[in-house]
Amino acid sequence: MYRRKNQRIIISTYNHNDLHFAVGFSENEKIVRISLPKKNLEEAVSEISNYHPKFSISDKYKDTVIEIATMYTGKPVNFNMDLLDMEISAEYEHETSTINTSFERQVILKVAKIQYGNIKTYKDIAKSINTHAYRAVGTAIGKNPFPIVVPCHRVVRSDGAVGGFRGGTEMKIKMLINEGLKLESGRIDIE
């Protein structure tokens, strides 16, 4: 089943330590989008509603949102990855932050396998899918609609610099530190 922009979704939210988390669920109870934590509820909901303008807010999936907030704080969670709607929809080709191509899907699936407390480089991800298109890998990672759960924060540059992140470098560093990774001068020791 392909996602449709006009499909009605349910957004469940959770407030933890003054951060607002929001997750959008389709009619078939799959996650279609996860918002990075925001300082206010409207911003968190907006990050999802920009892609899915027909929505209602409900606590129906609050337990799942709590799990995601727990993951954000650096605690390991055995998250059910089958909840993610990984279907590709050409309807979104003109939009950013959505999986549009099989290449982007391959990248997101590889990133999803990075274990808690570990990192990979953009180059590692590219090699794992038999390409030298490191920048394209970075672009695909930047479109990740499932941040936190698909741990794009665990992908860093080959020189150990953390690299870009939709939520900002400060948030990426915080998430890595929360998982027990050591950074020195904004870099991770790559071995």
Instruction: Give the model confidence (pLDDT) of 137-158 as tens digits.
Output: 999 999 999 999 999 999 999 9
pLDDT band at 3 (very low <50, low <70, confident <90, very high): very low
Catalytic residues: 152
The most distant pair of C-alpha atoms in the chain lies apart, rounded to whole Å, by 46
Joined tokens for residue 126 = 């590219």
Residue 185 burial (C-beta neighbours within 10 Å; 0-12, 13-18, 19+):
exposed
pTM recorded for the entire structure: 0.89
The whole-number pLDDT of residue 186 equals 79
The pLDDT value recorded for residue 91 is 41
Q: What domains appear along the chain, each with residue ranges and CATH number?
A: 9-83 (3.30.160), 90-188 (1.10.10.10)
Count other Cβ atoms within 10 Å, centred on residue 65. 25
Which residue, 98, 96, 103, 99, is CA-closest to 125? 103
Report the pLDDT value the prediction gives residue 50, as an integer from 0 to 100.
Answer: 92
In tens, the pLDDT along 94-128 reads: 444 556 688 999 999 999 999 999 999 999 999 99
In the chain, the amino acid numbered 9 is I
Residue 167 has pLDDT above 60, yes or no: yes
